[in-house]
């Protein structure tokens, strides 16, 4: 029987769900993009992975059932209050499902609960929806150094483009075709998207000028 353990702020607060997990779902989606090109037709490009999500359906027991996995657990109302407090804190929690590879920092996306009054047990059933939390690594910069770089960039004739050429978008262009044309490898389309801060490669603005990364022979086809 699997048990779920939730913790908050480096295990300052820990909630071991006493009820054996009967139903939980892990979703691990991936970004994909469909392009229609003149030469190839429809093409599927695989992008970066999306954040994982978990949905847990379980019960906070109001009675000491013999099958429970933990004996010292809070009352159902205290469990509800604890999770509500974590959800409203704006901080992630740690989610561990014993005997699995699930050990993630996650944000509480939704939490719903209700008392099972039909059997008179006063148990509280709940659904906990969680989404993977991604820590951001923010690079610190020296303000003086950043100013010097800006001054150099603003000087006429001194802007460097790392050998990149440019292309003005016209009707029918796709990043896949442009990558094939200029870089010799259509699968390098993500480099063009990243260089130009394009979040939706399906929608390209006609007339916009794109920067193109330098052609690297080791990434070329053949």
The candidate with the shortest Cα–Cα distance to 57, out of 15, 17, 102, is: 17
List helix spans (H) across 72-187. Answer: 76-89, 143-154, 175-178
pTM of the model: 0.57
CATH classification code of 4-132: 2.40.30.200
Query: Fold identical between 4-132 and 161-219?
Result: no
Identify the residue with better confidence: 45 or 180. Answer: 180
pLDDT tens column, 118-143: 667 889 999 999 999 987 655 555 65
> Taking a C-beta distance cutoff of 8 angstroms, is the pair 212, 182 a contact?
yes
Out of 3.40.50.720, 3.30.390.30, 3.40.50.150, 3.10.350.10, the CATH code matching 161-219 is 3.10.350.10
pLDDT digits 0-9 by tens, 161-208 = 444 588 998 888 888 888 888 888 888 888 898 899 888 888 888 889
Give the domain ranges of the chain: 4-132, 161-219
Residue 186 burial (C-beta neighbours within 10 Å; 0-12, 13-18, 19+)? buried
Distances (CA, A) of 215 to 176, 182, 222: 15, 7, 14
Structural Rg of the chain based on CA atoms: 26
């Amino acid at each position: 029987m699997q048990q779920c353990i939730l913790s908050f702020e480096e295990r300052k607060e820990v909630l071991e769900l006493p009820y054996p997990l009967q139903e939980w779902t892990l979703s691990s989606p991936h970004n994909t993009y469909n392009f229609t090109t003149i030469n190839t037709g429809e093409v599927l490009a695989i992008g970066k992975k999306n954040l994982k999500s978990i949905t847990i359906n379980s019960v906070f027991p109001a009675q000491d059932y013999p099958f429970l996995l933990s004996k010292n657990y809070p009352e159902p109302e205290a469990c509800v209050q604890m999770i509500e407090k974590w959800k409203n804190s704006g901080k992630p929690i740690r989610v561990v499902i014993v005997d699995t590879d699930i050990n993630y920092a996650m944000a509480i996306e939704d939490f719903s609960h209700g008392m099972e009054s039909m059997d008179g047990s006063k148990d509280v059933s709940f659904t906990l929806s969680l989404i993977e939390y991604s820590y951001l690594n923010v690079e610190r910069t020296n303000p003086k150094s950043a100013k010097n770089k800006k001054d150099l960039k603003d000087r006429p004739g001194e802007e460097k483009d790392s050998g990149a050429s440019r292309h003005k978008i016209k009707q029918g262009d796709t990043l896949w075709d442009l990558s094939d044309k200029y870089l010799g490898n259509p699968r390098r389309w993500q480099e063009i998207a990243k260089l130009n801060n394009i979040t939706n490669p399906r929608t390209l603005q006609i007339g916009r000028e794109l920067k193109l990364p330098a052609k690297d022979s080791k990434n070329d086809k053949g």
